[in-house]
Amino acid sequence: MDKKGLLFSYWNTLYPQEPVEKLQAFLDKIKEKYNAASPSSNAYWYKDAVVYSLYVDLFNKDFYGLTSKLDYLQNLGVNCLWLLPILDSPMRDAGFDIRNYDRIRADLLGLEPPIETDRQEEIFGNFLQEAHQRGINVIFDIAINHCSDEHPFFQEARKSVKSPHRDYFIWSKDTSLYGDARLLFKGIEDSNWEPNGDEWYYFHRFFNFQPDWNYRNPEVLFMMSENLLYWQNLGVDGFRADAIPYLWKEEGTSCENLDNTHVIVKFFRAVLDYVKPGTLLLAEACQKPNEVVKYLGDGDECHAAYHFPLMPMMFKTIAAESASPVKETLSPAVTPEIPESAQWFTFLRVHDELSLELVYVSEEDRKFIHENYCLQPEWDFRVGEGISARLSELMQRNPDKIALAYSLMLTLTGTPVVYYGDEFGKLNDEAYYKEQIKLTGKDDTRFLVRGRIDWPQLEKDLKDEENFHSRVFKTISAMLDARRSVKVFGRGTTKFLDVPDQFLAYERETEHEKVFVVNNLSSQSQSLKNLFQNNHLIVLHDEGFQMDTERQEMYFEPYGFGWFLVV
């Protein structure tokens, strides 16, 4: 079925009582507004990406500052930027509370509000052009489940039940409605319903200042589709679809992962492909892999999804000095096959905490990881279901442990995401944390893992070879350089090797390339018999590794590892 036929099919599923002429009018409108574009020449570019995730203002003030650092990022080995929220926002939730979907925050453009569309498109368009000239794709966050309570539609909707935008949101006088929907911000919010100041309440799954959109109203679907199309037309290469499991609500259910939620996402994918095939949709679904893979569909939903359960298991594997947690998580019993066109995105840190949601970790795993990594009481987030700390802090500022964690992320399945500052071991930012509490009125400990980069100080640190930040930067830079020299890490199959449990060793292979990776998970030096005696190898990268060719033994220092290319 062609894209137009798919759109009508999805429409009839979501809105069987609505006339199809309404959808046809929408399609006519976007066809007139946006010229259809040819598919990307590299449709699977995201499989070969090294993603760098950043807040524009915290990274280097605004888009002018970010543009000035594109050479830094290119030299680091980055070929995709994931811009954490950039759209107009009161900034009570780091920008995930969107006030206007067709506006970038004025401060990020170096302007004073209000801003003219032409000026916005000039400044942002110049940044996109500079990034694309360096072979760097750009994706950004868009919260499609909720908005800010300062969104103009919500401001109008809350005034009167007769408002034309009232039905864009979910209202009730009975707060027992959707009572089976879990509280996502346990310890921060005590209800999914917020009083409006009259007899009505509005529904929210996240902060109380973030009302959920009502996708039972087709106008909401059209509105959000147009938001995506506007930015696609400007040259954005993809979107991180924030909080997608919660889009559709039904009484008597958990209001998560419902069938119509998937239909909505398929609609977004088909609309984007209708105008310009190849625009990435990245699913942010904090769920078990067997639920997450449903957001990839049959190659007709999202192109990629985060592998949330793998992240905590990499931390557990290091703390337990055992390969079992990672091997079990990546086994077919836990991680199902995904469509050939699809991809997992892997990460150690994102903008949020080391997430330990019981939806995808067991209580036993949560307790073990929390006890081993929540080293300060203020790092606790969501009453034990998360740890707010930078990677360098979680690894007790040990460059060898940081390098080992990166060895796992960069060589296991999928596309890796580098969180800004982790490449030089950025620390928790106490001052920024306290500043944001005053600004937002919320004690959100995730602010610890954000904070600004002090570029003049960093440049001094990187010149000192003994400096902690310099040591981490040198190592991570070399690892990223080695990774981009081959494609197998983003595309190859994974086969675990039979070695003692304190080692995590595996083969990654495509039709054209094969690599072996051996990681010593132990805090002690370890040796192995040479696993690869009958292979001709090139060392792609190693840390704390030596080979005794005479004795045919491999020696690893604590947390040491090696990557080997078969030639």
Residues 6+ apart with CB under 8 A from 142: 87, 98, 101, 227, 228, 231, 239, 240, 241, 242
Cβ neighbors of 188 (< 8 A, separation 6 or more) are: 207, 382, 442, 443, 444
DSSP of 24-93: HHHHHHHHHHS---PPPSSTTGGGG--EEEE-HHHHHSSHHHHHHTHHHHHHHT--EEEE---EE---SS
Which candidate in 97, 141, 284, 380 is catalytic?
284
- Please name which of 228, 227, 183, 229 lies closest in space to residue 207, comparing C-alpha atoms: 183
- Spatial contact of 139 and 282, defined as CB atoms under 8 Å apart: yes
CA dist., res. 518 & res. 188, Å (int): 42
Task: Tell me if 200 sits within 8 A of 173, measured CB to CB.
Answer: yes
H-run or E-run covering 172: strand 171-172
H or E stretch covering 544: strand 537-548
Q: Which two tokens stand for residue 62?
A: 């605004």
* Sheet containing 171-172: order of strands: 171-172, 201-203, 193-195
Kindly state the greatest CA–CA separation across the chain.
84
Is residue 93 annotated as part of the catalytic site, yes or no?
Answer: no
Tallying the residues shown for the chain, one arrives at: 567
429 classed as catalytic: no
Out of 62, 93, 242, 422, the active site residue is 242
What single-letter DSSP state applies at residue 148? -
**Which residues are marked as active site?**
242, 284
